[in-house]
Amino acid sequence: MPKFLDVHSFKGFDEETLKKLQSAPVDEFGIKHLNLMFNQEEDRFYCLTEAPNKKAVYDHHNKHGVKCEWITEVKTTA
Residue 78, pLDDT score: 80
| Biggest CA-to-CA distance, the chain | 32
pTM as predicted:
0.91
Residue 12, pLDDT score: 87
Which domains are present in the chain?
3-74 (3.30.70.3090)
Residue 73, pLDDT score: 98
Q: pLDDT (tens digit, 9 = 90+) per residue, 12-57?
A: 898 998 889 889 999 999 999 999 999 999 999 999 999 999 999 9
The order of strands in the sheet holding 70-74 is: 32-39, 44-50, 3-8, 70-74
